[in-house]
Amino acid sequence: MMRRTQPLHCRLLTGLLHQNTTFRSFTSVDLSTVDPSSPLLQYYTVTPPIKPWPQRLHPKRLVSMINRQQNLDLALQIFLYAGKFHPNFCHNFDTYQSIIQKLSRARAFEPMESLISQLQNSQIKCGENLFITVIRNYGLASLPKLAVKTFLRIENFNVQRSVRSLNTLLNVLIQNKRYDLVHLMFKSSKTKFNVIPNVFTGNILIKALCQKNDVEAAYKVLDEMPAMGMVPNLVTYTTILGGYLARGDMRNGKRVFQELLDRGWIPDATTYTVLMDGYCKLGKFNEAVKVMDEMEENGVAPNEVTYGVMIEAFCKEKKSGEALNMFDDMLQRKYIPSSSLSCKVIDLLCEEGRVEEGCYLWKKMLKNDCLPDNAILSTLIHWLCKEGKVWEARKIFDEFEKGSVPSLLTYNTLINGMCEKGEMSEAGKLWDDMVEKGCNPNVFTYNILIKGFCKIGNATEGIRILEEMLDKGCLPNKATYNILIEVLQGMGKEGEVEKVVSMAMSSGRVDRSSWDLFLTKIVGKLNNGVDLLHQLLETAN
C-alpha cells in the first residue's frame, strides 16, 4: 500500500488499528485522514496515542495533556484522537488554542495553519490572544508577511481586532526591519482596521522612525500625539533621546532630556543610561560620570546595563583603573556582569601586564556568585601562558574542572600554552582528557600539537598526527601543511615533504589555499616537482 509523504509535523501516527475480524490489519494511520463516520471502522479499534487514555475526557483535561506533552507529533495526535474518536467529546476554543500555540512556538506552521482553518470552519467562538501568539511567533521566525496576514484575517473569526494585536504586529515589523510598513499600518489603524492606537502604539512608531534614522519624523509624531489623544510618556522621550544620541547629536539629545524634565517626568535608569552612552560614544567620559553621579543623587540606582555601558567605554579607551573601579562597584551591588564584559576587563588588565590582578578578579567574581565561564577562563589561561606561567594556568584549569566542563576553546588555549613552553607530555595528557570527556579536537587543536612537536624538532610525530587527523576525517588547512613543510624543508628532509604531499593527495580533500601552498612552496623546489604537479592536477580532476 502506497503512503503519502508528508512533512514531519504532519505525520500523525497512532499505534495500531487492531483488526477484530478477518479483515487485513493496518499498522499505522494518519489520523487527519480518517473519517470517523466510515462504516469500515466498525471492524477496527483505534488505539489511543498514549496510555492510559482517560475514560472521561473534558476540554480542561485535554488542554493539560497537550501542554504536558514534550513530543510535538504526539501532542497533535492526542488532539486529533480526542476530537475524532473519543465518545461525545467536542473541542472548544481552549483545546484549539493549546495545540495551535504549541505548534506556533515550535514553528510547525503548516499543521498550525491547517488547524486554524478547521477552527474557522467550526464556528467556535474565538479570542484574540490566540492570534497575538501566532503573530509574535511568525515574527520570531522572520516571517513578517505571514504575521500581517494573520492580523488581517482575525475578523474572519468574528473577533474584533484590538490595539494589543496591532501593537504586537508593529513590534514584529520593527523586529524584521519593515519600518515603512509600521508607519503605513499606524496610519491605517482607525480607517481600515477599526483600531484606535494608544500611547504604546505611538511609542512603537517613534521607535521604528528612530531605528530608520528619521529622528525628525519621530519628534514630529511626539508633537502630534496629544492631538491623537495620547500623552507622551517617559518611554516616548527616552526613545527619541536615544535616536538623537545614536547619531552623535548631543545638542538635540540634551534638549529632549531637558524637555522631559520640564514636563515633570523623572528619568529612570534607562533614560540616564541612554544619556551616559551618548556621552561615552563622544569620548566625554567626565560628563558621563557626572550623569551617573546625578542619577544616584536623584535616588535612581544604576542597573547592570548602566555599568555595562560605562565599563565597556572605559575598556575601549584603555582606562583600566576606571573600568576596574566600576566593575568592583557592580559586584558590590550584587549585579552579575556578562561574560563578554568580564572578558574585556580581564583582557585589559592582562594587556597591561596585570595578570595577577586578572586572576584575583576572577576569584572575586566566583565569591560573588558569578558562574564559572569558559570564555573568561580561556582569557586568563591565554595571558598566563603568554607570560610563561603555564602551571598557574593548569592550576586554575583544574579548579574550574571540579565543577564545570571545559570547552574546546579552553582546552585549545591551555594545550597551546603547554606546546609553546615545550611541555608536550602535559599537552598530550590534556588531549587525552579532552577526548575522554567527549570533546572532539578540531583543526586548530591538531595544528597546535603538530606545531608543538615541530618546535622541539620532532617533525616525525607531527606527520603521525597529520595522519591521525586525516583518519579521523578532520580536514587539514593551509596552516597545517605550512607548519610541517617549513620545518621539514628547513631540516632538508625532502622525502618527508613528499610524504606529506602524498598524504594530502591520497585524502582527496585539499582546499584551495593548501593547493596554492603546494604550488608555491613545493613543486618548484623538489627534484620530482613535475610528478607532484601531475598528482595535484589528477586530484583536482
The 10s digit of each residue's pLDDT in 207-255 is 999 999 999 999 999 999 999 999 999 999 999 999 999 999 999 999 9
Q: Say what the pLDDT of residue 30 is.
A: 57
Q: Is the dihedral of CA 338, 343, 348, 350 positive or negative?
A: positive
Distances (CA, A) of 236 to 30, 106, 188, 267, 279: 52, 34, 21, 12, 20
- Look up residue 387 and give its amino acid: E
The end-to-end CA distance of the chain, in Å, is: 45
Residue 31's closest CA among 113, 69, 86, 96?
Answer: 86
H and E: helices and strands count for the chain: 28, 2
- All three cell numbers of 80, joined, read 486529533
* Total domains in the fold of the chain: 1
Flag whether 33 is in a domain: no
- Chain mean pLDDT for the chain: 88
What angle, 0 to 180 degrees and rounded to 10, lies between the N-to-C axes of helices 285-297 and 304-316?
A: 160
Q: Say what the pLDDT of residue 535 is.
A: 57
Flag whether 353 is in a domain: yes
Q: What is the pLDDT of residues 117-153, one digit of tens each?
A: 999 999 899 999 999 999 999 999 999 999 999 999 9
Q: Tell me, what CATH number does 313's domain have?
A: 1.25.40.10
Flag whether 286 is in a domain: yes
Q: What is the mean pLDDT of residues 87-103?
A: 96
Q: What is the mean pLDDT of residues 165-188?
A: 97
Q: What is the pLDDT of residues 471-519, one digit of tens each?
A: 998 988 888 888 888 888 888 887 888 888 888 777 777 777 777 777 7
Q: Say what the pLDDT of residue 18 is.
A: 31
Phi, psi of 338, deg, nearest 5: -70, 160
Flag whether 284 is in a domain: yes
Q: Say what the pLDDT of residue 531 is.
A: 56
Flag whether 367 is in a domain: yes
Q: What is the pLDDT of residues 303-332, one digit of tens each?
A: 999 999 999 999 999 999 999 999 999 999
DSSP letter assigned to residue 195: -
Q: Say what the pLDDT of residue 537 is.
A: 52
Flag whether 281 is in a domain: yes
Encode 56-72: b = buried (16+ Cβ within 10 Å), e = exposed. Answer: ebebeebbebbeebeeb
- All three cell numbers of 30, joined, read 494518519
- All three cell numbers of 76, joined, read 497533535
Flag whether 310 is in a domain: yes
Provide the 3-class DSSP secondary structure of residue 30.
Answer: strand
197 prior amide bond cis, ω within 30: no
Q: Is the dihedral of CA 326, 332, 335, 340 positive or negative?
A: positive
pLDDT at 371 over 70: yes
Lowest-pLDDT choice from 4-18, 26-40, 500-514: 4-18
- Look up residue 428 and give its amino acid: G
Q: Rounded CA gap, 497 and 220, in Å? A: 71
Helix, strand and coil content of the chain, in percent to the nearest 5, comes to: 70, 0, 30
pLDDT at 10 over 50: no
Q: What is the pLDDT of residues 272-297, one digit of tens each?
A: 999 999 999 999 999 999 999 999 99
- Which residues form the domain of 328? 270-371
| Secondary structure of 240-274 as H, E, C letters | HHHHHHHCCCHHHHHHHHHHHHHCCCCCCHHHHHH
